[in-house]
Chain A
Amino acid sequence: MIIRCKDIINLLSSFYEHELEEELEEVFLEHIYECQRCLALFNTFEKALELFHSIEKPVKLERKKKQEFHRWLRVEIRRVVIKKYRHY
């Protein structure tokens, strides 16, 4: 099996996610070891994702806001339930 530089671009994500079949993965690796252009492409692709992952940390609700939300939810749920039973 032979793959060209154009194929490498399309396979980058699958390789990164370890989704390629064994044989194709080997051919992919052989190609990027021999082709400097594709090796650069893969290294920079991986680096871009690494930076992206570390740029946005999960945002957490502050404790006070969380308590406020719990109180709000309990009241709102009661309201919905009361409305529903009034309907019957």
Chain B
Amino acid sequence: MIQPKIKTLDEQQLVEAAQNGDTYAFEELIRRYEDRIYSLAYRVVHDKEEAYDVLQETAISAFKNINRFKGKSSFSTWIYKIALNFALMRKRKQKSLLKKAQILKPEDDDKISQFVDISEKQNITDWSENPILNLENQELKDLLMESLKKLPEKYRNVLILKELEGRSVEEVAKILGISTSATKTRLHRGKLYLRELLDKYVTQHI
């Protein structure tokens, strides 16, 4: 049982206590982020057991390295970065297994560029009110999920962190170790990819 006093400490106080060897403070820090770490991991690996493994790896790695945390970013950004790295390692393992089985091939970068290049398109149909685009439509849900899995990692990661996890562009940039302008570019292309994907889906169903 964690001491009640620990629960009243703010993040910075908990980090300081954990860095001074208070293991209960560290446990409390993890309790505050465990749901978000698990959710992020699940969105990357799409498997509950693997997401749980990522949570364990993240927690123990953070404990071993807590004194390396210098407070340049927030604790949540720091631990998210650790979690994302573990999740991506697992994702890459899954991918290499899938590649061997030739089940799922990620789209390559050139293909994405061609796909999202709509500047030459003369007519764009406004399907935003089309009734087939509702969340009761399982086919549509599957399409979005599968497409997200097939997106190159660099676009998928920014979409997950920014659009699904609700992190700011600056935080996403820190977590991924890229510039904010690169983050914005990837986000923009990822979003255009989603629009084009739905465009093709609706066109096929009209």
A47 to chain B, nearest CB (A): 4
Interface-central residue, A38, A43, A47, by most chain B CB under 10 Å: A47
B183 to chain A, nearest CB (A): 11
A4 to chain B, nearest CB (A): 10
> How big is the A interface, by class?
35 or more
Interface-central residue, B27, B128, B163, by most chain A CB under 10 Å: B128
From A6, A47, A61, A74, B128 is in contact (CB under 8 Å) with A47
Q: Quick check: B144 and A55 within 8 Å, CB to CB?
A: yes
Interface-central residue, A45, A48, A65, by most chain B CB under 10 Å: A48
B118 to chain A, nearest CB (A): 6
Indicate whether A51 sits within 8 Å of B144 (C-beta atoms), given known contacts A6-B119, A9-B118: yes
Indicate whether A60 sits within 8 Å of B39 (C-beta atoms), given known contacts A49-B163, A51-B135, A69-B52: yes
Contact with B along A37-50 (1 / 0, CB 8 A): 11111011111110
From B34, B38, B194, A59 is in contact (CB under 8 Å) with B38
In the complex, which residues of chain A have a beta carbon less than 8 angstroms from the beta carbon of B133?
47, 51
Q: How far is the CA of A43 from the CA of B133 in the complex (A)?
A: 13
Contact with B along A64-85 (1 / 0, CB 8 A): 0110011011101110110000
